[in-house]
Amino acid sequence: MSVKRNEDGSINITNNNGSMAVGRMVLVSNDKKKENFNAWVENCAKLIKACPHTFKETEKYFLEHCETLPIDPNDRRFKSFQNDVIENYCKDKLKHQPPKFSFDMTDEEIENWKKENDAMRDELRDSSPEQFGLIIHGYYLPHTERNLVYYEHAQKNSQEVMRSIEQKRAKFNDSNHSKPIKITQQDICFFFEETTEHFNSDNWCCNLMAQLVTFRGVTENDIEKRTPRFKLYISTLRHMGKLPDM
């Protein structure tokens, strides 16, 4: 194994499992933006009323509004969602627990971190939802006439995002010969995990995700404690034009 420290502060780590680069993240604090966001959240809390639906009702709503096919648990998209749930909700149940990475580690400590991190990745790859008490339902939206509206909306949103990226790229690039970004139409998949009540889509450009977030709504507790569910809910409503902007 080798550890290479670069002039820009990044570190390259190479072993039998391959190479990886770890770069320094520079966080720029903008107190004014944070202040404006917090004020916006507080204002939204005054406008929002509790309108909760259960997790089961939300999944039922999803199944009633589109055509779906089950996704095999060995599908990479299913495994990606599974790993995300494990890392966010039950990481403490993993046998391998790599320490938090630090650029102040010695080379030997970084090598040990890489070994433990690789072992954790292998453990995640070979694990099953049942080992962690998870119940995951994965769905694929086939390209049918009924699902066409979701694919069209996803394509439109993707194009808007790409145009925005190209405009920003052109602003900071003197060359007019940069190649346009190609958009590949992605399949739309949704995943629901019963025990954590976490759900997600691998295509956030699909307006069906916004429908699910708003249908599920928020509880009085979410509003009172400004939970992540509440912040996702108001952010979705703002994006839909149903709440004032910041």
pLDDT in tens, 6-56: 988 899 999 888 889 998 876 666 788 899 999 999 999 999 999 999 999
Residue 130, pLDDT above cutoff 90:
yes
> How far apart are the C-alpha atoms of 201 and 71, rounded to whole Å?
13
The per-residue pLDDT for 203 is 76
pTM above 0.85, yes or no: no
CB-CB contact of 206 with 156 (8 Å): no
> How far apart are the C-alpha atoms of 238 and 215, rounded to whole Å?
15
The per-residue pLDDT for 170 is 74
Tell me what percent of the residues of the chain surpass a pLDDT of 90: 72
Average pLDDT on 214-237 reads 97
Count of C-beta atoms within a 10 Å radius of residue 181: 13
CA dihedral 111, 113, 118, 124 (to 10 degrees): 170
Residue 137, pLDDT above cutoff 60:
yes
* 118-141: burial string, b at 16+ Cβ within 10 Å, e else: bbbeeebeebebeebebebbbbbb
What is the rounded average pLDDT for all residues in the chain?
Answer: 89
Average pLDDT on 98-114 reads 92
Residue 205, pLDDT above cutoff 90:
no
- Find the angle CA(112)-CA(116)-CA(117) to the nearest 5 degrees: 115
Residue 175, pLDDT above cutoff 60:
no
Residue 236, pLDDT above cutoff 70:
yes
Residue 178, pLDDT above cutoff 80:
no
